Structure 1
Amino acid sequence: MADVVLFGVGQFAEVARFYLEWEGSHNIVAHTVNREYLTTGEKGNLPIVAWEDLEQEYPPGQVSLFCPLSYRGMNSHRQEIFEEGLRRGYDFISFIHPKAEYYGTPVGRNCMILESNVIQPHVEIGDNCILWSGNHIGHHTRIESHCFLASHVVVSGSVTIGERSFLGVNATIRDNVELGKAVVVGAGALVTKSLEDFTVVPGPKSAASKLKSHQLKGI
C-alpha cells in the first residue's frame, strides 16, 4: 500500500479522497496546497502542508502524489502542478475505478477514471487526464495528456483528442476525427469533423466559435 499526498482541499480533492479510501489500495497521509491557500492545518483529520515545503515533511521516495484538480485554465493549472511535481522528483499514482470497463491498455500517471467508463481495447490515455463517470471511449482512440472528459461523453473509434482538451457532458465525437490541442467541445455538442488547435464548439447544433479556447473566461 503506497502512501499518498493529495493535492487540493476542495470538492475534487474530497471526491478523490473518498474513492481512494473506499478502494483501499493507497494510504492518504496528507493534503497539500499552495501556501497562499493554506488557511488551516487540517482536512478531515489529515495534515495540510504547503506545496512549496512538501519535501521537508514528505520527501520524494517516501510518498507519491495525486493531483485531481479541475479543468481550470484549460487544464493548465493541473498540468503545472503535475510537471512541477515530476521536476521535484515525485511519482504520481493513477486511480481507475473497479467498476470501469477497462482492458489494461496504457494509462498514464495522475489519471482519474471513475465508475461506468467503458474503455475499449487499443485505447491510449496520456498523463494527467480525468475521465468523470459514464463515458464511452471507442477502440483505437488516443487521449493525449492533460485532458478532461465530463460525464457521458461518447468518443467513437480511432479518434485523437489533443492535449489539454475539454469535452463537456453528453458530447459526441464521431469516428476517425482528430481534435487539436486545447479544444473545447461543449455539453451536448456533436463533432463530425476534425478540429484545429484551440477550437471551441459551444453546444448542440453549433458551428465552431470564432473565439479560441484560450480566450474563454469560464474554463
Structure 2
Amino acid sequence: MNSVLGIIGAGHLGQQIAHYAITDKHFEQVVFFDDFTSDSNINGWPVLGRTQDILKSFSQKKITHLMIGIGYKHMEARANFYDIYKDKIPFARIIHSSCWVDPTAIIGEGVIVYPNSAIDAHVVIKNNVLLNIGCTIAHDTSIASHCFLSPRVALAGFIIVGEQVILGINCTVIDNITIGQNVKIGAGAVVVRDITEKGTYVGVPAKLNKK
C-alpha cells in the first residue's frame, strides 16, 4: 500500500507540510481535510472532505498517517484534534533531511521539523510539535506537546517548555529556564528567567506584555 499523509487544514501551513512530505520523500501522496474550503484540490493535492470524514477515509485505506496543519493562532484546536485521533490513526513524524538530530534525542509522533534545524543530545520533543526553519534546540531540553516554534528559535540547554507554548521568530531562551504552558514569547525576545504565568512576553529581557 502506498503511504498517504492526511493533513488536517489546507491553509498555508498545511500546504508547507505537504510540500516537505512530498519533496523530501517522506510520503508518496498527500491529501487534505478541511472544514472551511470548498475546493476539491489545492496545489494539485486532493481535499478528501471535512474533518468528520477522517476516520472513514482511514478505514477505507485512503490515508495511512495523519498530521495537523493548523497554525499558531489555533493552538487549542491543534491539541484537540490530536487528542481525538491519537489512538485511532498513526500520526506521522517528518524530520527534513537537511536537519541534524543527535541519536539520543527523543521525538514524538505528529512532529514536523522544518529544514536546517539542529536538535542536540538528550533533547525530548513530545507529540504534535512544529519546529519551523532553522531552529536550534540544545542538549537536555524538553518541549511538551502541541508547541509551535517559529523560524530560528534558539533554546539553550536544560530548558523545560510547557504545553501549547508559542515561541516567536528569532526568540532566544538561555539555559536552565522553565516556561509554563500556554505562554507566548514574542519575536526577538530573550528569556532570562522562568515564566510561570500565562500571557505574552516581549522584549529584551522578555517581560509580560498582556495576560
Indicate whether the TM-score tops 0.5: yes
Percent identity, aligned pairs only?
Answer: 23
Contact 1:147 1:165 in 2 (8 A): yes
Alignment of 1:104-123 (within 5 A): 104=103, 105-123=105-123
| Matched residue, 2:94 | 95
Instruction: List runs of 5+ in structure 2 lacking aligned partners.
Output: none
1:203 Cα offset (Å): 2.8
Q: Deviations over 1:56-78 (max 9, x none)?
A: 333287621111221113x1111
Partner residue, 1:146: 146
Deviations 1:179-208 (A, max 9, x none): 111111111111111110414212334422
Instruction: Give the structure 1 partner of residue 132 of structure 2.
Output: 132
Letter of the aligned partner of 1:92 in structure 2?
F
Shift of 1:42: 2.4
RMSD of the TM alignment (CA)? Answer: 1.8
Contact 1:38 1:48 in 2 (8 A): no
Give how far 1:15 is off: 0.8
Any idea what SS the aligned residue of 1:40 has? coil
Q: Hey, what does 2:19 align to over in structure 1?
A: 18
Query: Do the aligned partners of residues 45 and 26 (structure 1) sit closer, same or farther apart at CA in structure 2, a change above 3 Å counting?
Result: closer
- In the alignment, residue 39 of structure 1 is paired with which amino acid? S
Are the counterparts in 1 of residues 172 and 188 from structure 2 also a CA contact under 8 Å? yes
Who is 2:168 aligned against?
168
Q: Distance in 2 between matches of 1:121 and 1:81?
A: 30
Question: Which deviates the most, 77-86 or 107-116?
Answer: 77-86
Deviations for 1:12-71, whole angstroms, at most 9, x for unmatched residues?
Answer: 11111111111113122421112xx14122231524312112333332876211112211
Counting only pairs closer than 5 Å after superposition, residues 33-112 of structure 1 correspond to structure 2 as 33-34=34-35, 37-43=36-42, 44-59=44-59, 63-73=64-74, 75-86=75-86, 89-104=88-103, 105-112=105-112
Retained in 2: the 8 A contact 1:185–1:203?
A: no
Give the aligned partner of residue 31 of structure 2: 30
Give the TM-score normalised by structure 1.
0.87
Structure 1, 6-15 or 41-50: larger mean CA deviation: 41-50
Stretches of 4+ aligned residues off by more than 3 angstroms: none
CA drift at 1:171: 0.7
Letter in 2 for 1:4: L
- 2:6 aligns with 5
**Quick one: distance in 2 between partners of 1:14 and 1:184?**
24
What are the Cα deviations for residues 151-204 of structure 1, in whole angstroms up to 9, with x where unaligned? 111111000011100111111101001111111111111111111041421233
Conserved 8 A contact 1:66-1:93: yes
Distance (whole Å) between structure 1 residues aligned to residue 60 and residue 200 of structure 2: 39
Instruction: Write the letter of the residue equivalent to 2:154.
Output: V
